C-alpha cells in the first residue's frame, strides 16, 4: 500500500483501503489484493478518503479533492451519489436503513443523506 488512509471491512471477510496516492484497493479475506477500483472501473480519484461497504457489497468512497461520494457496485458503472454540498468529505458510513453519513471536515459536521 502507498499511504493507506481509511479502511473498512467488507461482507465477504475482506476489506477496502483508500490510499493517499489516489486509489482504493480491495482485498480478499486471505489479505490478497482482489482489485484496484481505479483499474476495475477506469475511475480517477482526486484524493480518496473515507470508505465503507453497504449491505449489497457496493463500495462507497468519499473524495476530498473532488468533493463527491461515489458508489462502486460489484457489477456495473460507478454512481455519483453526492456531487454538491460537500466542502471536504473525509469519512463515510452507511446504515442498513439506507442512510449515508458523510463527515464533512470543511464544515465541521456530519451530513446525512437518504
Give pLDDT tens digits for 18-39: 999 789 999 999 999 999 999 9
Among candidate residues 80, 16, 25, the one with its CA nearest the CA of residue 52: 16
Give pTM, 2 decimals.
Answer: 0.95
Q: Give the DSSP H/E element, type plus range, for residue 40.
A: helix 37-41
d(CA 104, CA 101): 9
**Total residues found in the chain within this entry:** 114
Return per-residue pLDDT of the chain as tens, 114 residues. 999 999 999 988 999 999 997 899 999 999 999 999 999 999 999 999 999 999 899 999 999 999 999 999 999 999 999 999 999 999 999 998 889 999 999 999 999 999
* Structural domain span for residue 71: 4-113
Q: What is the DSSP letter of 67?
A: T
Number of domains the chain is built from: 1
- The CATH code of the domain that includes 43 is 2.120.10.30
Amino acid at each position: 500500500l502507498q499511504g493507506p488512509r481509511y479502511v473498512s471491512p467488507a461482507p465477504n471477510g475482506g476489506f477496502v483501503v483508500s490510499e493517499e496516492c489516489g486509489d482504493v484497493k480491495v482485498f480478499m479475506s486471505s489479505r490478497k489484493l482482489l482489485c484496484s477500483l481505479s483499474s476495475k472501473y477506469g475511475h480517477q480519484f482526486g484524493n480518496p478518503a473515507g470508505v465503507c461497504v453497504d449491505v449489497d457489497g457496493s463500495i462507497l468512497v468519499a473524495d476530498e479533492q473532488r468533493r463527491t461520494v461515489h458508489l462502486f457496485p460489484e457489477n456495473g458503472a460507478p454512481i455519483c451519489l453526492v456531487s454538491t454540498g460537500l466542502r471536504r468529505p473525509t469519512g463515510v458510513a452507511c446504515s442498513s436503513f439506507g442512510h449515508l453519513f458523510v463527515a464533512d471536515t470543511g464544515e465541521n459536521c456530519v451530513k446525512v443523506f437518504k
